[in-house]
């Protein structure tokens, strides 16, 4: 801090002021103390980074045409000695079971989708959002069916070998690319509280119509920007900072439950999860240091608690209990069973939880019912190398299991494949700045149904859209 007699940013009086190196504003001693109190509350997330990357679907299953591998296994068995026959039998069972599992998975998804279609048809209560959802789900199933996993056999030519390794299965990766220059789709008019401005946006959610819901952190409100809109509209909070039921206090994340047209908010400094339905407010979960929110396909609600260093899960409508710990909960630390300031979270189709483990500079994946997780991005200390992250924030995973992370302090979005030592830059990475190819401490990430990438550009007070080109 440096001293200077000038106007205080908060009280607007000429006093001896102190420059905050972070926001570059001058405060008198009294207002500086208040400012520092706010900074202390958000210390763990103001220096965050972000972008994520995931793995190919674990245990990808072979399709029926891969049963030709059985012939190779049979020939190998005939050319080998008796002691490897049992191994040949085991290998056949692996291939057959994998093929059956792939087909069963497709059939199960068809059955689930059929049930939802019948429900909408019988109840005659559906709208464009429901139809877009059904269309998207059908497209996912078709893409998965047309892009089956592949299998091959790696023969070991050593005499009397005891093994016939089957190379792990893996879908053909589609490595999407995005335009280097982004489009500002919300904010971008300096920080402030006008409807065309944002003030440090954090969590974002994109609905089926490409409307953007933003946790406008310093404005203590949730703002919705309609597709191609020039300004937003306040749909929650906006009544000043406070703990009344119609107020918010530094909201960090927001999700939209499109089935009942409600929004759920991580009201961070009020230590509560609140739900807003048609301007009516309800406290769902209280006494929790909530930061990130997510909902899985079974409509379970997940919340990251950055003080208890854990992620908990609640069943929809059953918020009167303590929930179930699904990650962390073993104290603050850097072991595989621990977390250190978990921030944003993502849930995949198998209910695996991906967590931006901010102060450990890594992304952790916890499988359902696992006792510990594993680092799937970063985990090599804080830094800017391709195998490092620096205070990661937003995390999302695509259909191929690739992990995208908002690398907060490195001002870039990274893509990782689980098991790989390094990630790659897919957006930003051109230094901190305000240009269309730059970011300044990116926070949350989101894909729309066309795979365009949205980034909450925290210090630029804007939402950036990187359009997909491949």
pLDDT in tens, 424-470: 999 999 999 999 999 999 999 999 999 999 999 999 999 999 999 97
Cα–chain-centroid distance for residue 238? Answer: 26
Beta bridge partners of 170: 150
pLDDT digits (tens, 9 = 90+) for 348-399: 999 999 999 999 999 999 999 999 999 999 999 999 999 999 999 999 999 8
Work out the percent of the chain whose per-residue pLDDT is above 70: 85
Shared domain for 198 and 343, answered yes or no, is yes
Residue 99 located in a structural domain: no
Q: What is the distance between the alpha carbons of residues 132 and 153, in angstroms, rounded to a whole number?
A: 41
Dihedral through CA 367, CA 371, CA 377, CA 381, nearest 10? 170
Asked if residue 50 and residue 190 are part of one domain, the reply reads: no
Phi/psi at 176 (5° precision): -65, 150
Q: What are the structure tokens assigned to 252, written together?
A: 């960090």
Q: Which domain holds residue 46?
A: 6-58
Is residue 235 assigned to a domain?
yes
In a domain, 290, yes or no: yes
Q: Choose the weakest-confidence range: 157-166, 201-210, 235-244, 293-302.
A: 157-166
Flag whether 452 is in a domain: yes
Query: What is the rounded CA–CA span in Å between residue 324 and residue 319?
Result: 11
pLDDT value of residue 446: 97
Per-residue pLDDT band at 38 (split at 50, 70, 90): confident
**Edge-to-edge strand ranges of the sheet holding 353-357:** 342-347, 353-357, 362-366, 374-378
**Number of other CB atoms surrounding residue 165 within 10 Å:** 11
DSSP assignment of 224-237 equals EE-TT-SS-EEEEE
For residue 42, pLDDT over 70 is answered with no
CA distance 362 to 91: 36
Q: Which of 18, 37, 58 is the last residue of a domain?
A: 58
Last residue of a domain, one of 18, 35, 58: 58
**Phi, psi at residue 379, to the nearest 5°?**
85, 10
| Total count of domains within the chain | 2
Q: List the CATH number of the domain containing 380.
A: 2.120.10.30
Of the listed ranges 79-88, 201-210, 336-345, the least confidently predicted one is: 79-88
At which of 40, 58, 76 does a domain end? Answer: 58
Q: Report the pLDDT averaged over residues 223-235.
A: 95
C-beta contacts of 317-321 below 8 A and 24+ residues apart: 319/273, 319/284, 319/285
Q: Is 450 helix (H, G, I), strand (E, B) or coil?
A: coil
pLDDT confidence of residue 54: 47
**Per-residue confidence (pLDDT) for residue 131, from 0 to 100:** 76
- Regarding whether 49 and 195 lie in a shared domain, the answer is no
Q: Is residue 68 domain-resident? A: no
Domain for residue 310, yes or no?
yes
Average pLDDT in the 194-209 region?
96
- Spell out a b/e string for 315-346, using b for 16 or more CB atoms within 10 Å of the CB, else e: eeeebeeebeebbbbbeeeeeeebbbbbbbbb
Task: Report yes or no: 328 and 311 within 8 Å, Cβ to Cβ.
Answer: yes
| Ranges 25-39, 206-220, 231-245, 293-307: which has the least confidence | 25-39
Write out the H or E segment, with its range, that includes residue 35: helix 29-41
**pLDDT in the model for residue 348:** 94
Identify whether 387 is part of a domain. yes
pLDDT number for residue 169: 45
Q: What is the pLDDT of residue 58?
A: 52
Q: State the pTM of this model.
A: 0.66
Whether 88 is in a domain gets the answer no
What average pLDDT is seen over the chain?
85
**Which residues does 154 contact at the CB level (< 8 Å), separation at least 6?**
165, 166, 167
Query: In a 10 Å sphere around its CB, with 0-12 CB exposed, 13-18 middle and 19+ buried, how is residue 125 labelled?
Result: exposed
Higher pLDDT, 195 or 48: 195
């Amino acid at each position: 801090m440096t001293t200077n007699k000038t106007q205080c940013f908060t009280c607007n009086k000429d006093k001896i002021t102190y420059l905050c190196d972070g926001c570059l504003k001058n405060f008198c001693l009294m207002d500086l103390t208040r400012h520092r109190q706010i900074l202390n509350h958000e210390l763990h997330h103001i220096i965050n980074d972000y972008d994520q990357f995931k793995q190919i679907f674990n245990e990808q299953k072979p399709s029926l045409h891969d049963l030709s591998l059985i012939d190779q296994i049979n020939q190998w068995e005939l050319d080998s000695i008796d002691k490897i026959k049992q191994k040949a039998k085991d290998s056949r069972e692996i291939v057959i079971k994998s093929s059956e599992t792939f087909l069963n998975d497709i059939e199960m998804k068809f059955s689930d989708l059929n049930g939802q279609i019948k429900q909408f048809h019988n109840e005659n209560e559906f709208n464009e959002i429901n139809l877009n959802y059904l269309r998207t789900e059908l497209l996912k199933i078709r893409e998965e069916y047309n892009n089956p996993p592949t299998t091959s056999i790696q023969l070991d030519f050593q005499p009397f070998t005891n093994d016939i390794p089957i190379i792990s299965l893996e879908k053909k990766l589609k490595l999407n690319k995005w335009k280097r220059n982004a489009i500002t789709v919300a904010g971008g008019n300096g920080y402030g509280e006008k409807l065309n401005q944002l003030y440090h946006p954090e969590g974002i959610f994109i609905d089926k119509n490409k409307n953007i819901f933003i946790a406008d952190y310093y404005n203590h409100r949730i703002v919705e920007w309609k597709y191609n809109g020039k300004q937003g509209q306040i749909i929650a909070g906006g009544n000043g900072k406070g703990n009344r039921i119609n107020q918010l206090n530094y909201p960090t994340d927001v999700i939209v439950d499109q089935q009942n047209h409600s929004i759920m908010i991580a009201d961070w400094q009020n230590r509560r999860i609140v739900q807003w339905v048609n301007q009516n407010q309800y406290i769902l979960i209280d006494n929790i240091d909530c930061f990130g929110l997510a909902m899985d396909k079974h409509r379970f609600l997940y919340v990251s608690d950055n003080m208890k260093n854990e992620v908990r899960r609640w069943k929809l409508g059953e918020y009167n209990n303590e929930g179930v710990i699904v990650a962390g909960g073993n104290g603050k630390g850097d072991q595989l069973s621990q977390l250190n300031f978990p921030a944003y979270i993502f849930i995949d189709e198998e209910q695996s939880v991906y967590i931006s483990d901010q102060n450990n500079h890594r992304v952790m994946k916890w499988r359902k019912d696992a006792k510990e997780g594993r680092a799937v991005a970063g985990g090599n200390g804080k830094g800017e190398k391709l195998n490092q992250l620096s205070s990661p924030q937003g995390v999302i995973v695509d259909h191929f299991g690739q992990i995208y992370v908002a690398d907060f302090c490195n001002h870039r979005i990274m893509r990782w494949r689980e098991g790989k030592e390094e990630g790659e830059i897919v957006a930003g990475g051109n230094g901190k700045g305000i240009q269309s190819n730059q970011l300044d401490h990116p926070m949350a990430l989101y894909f729309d149904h066309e795979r365009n990438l949205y980034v909450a550009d925290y210090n630029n007070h804007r939402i950036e859209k990187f359009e997909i080109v491949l």
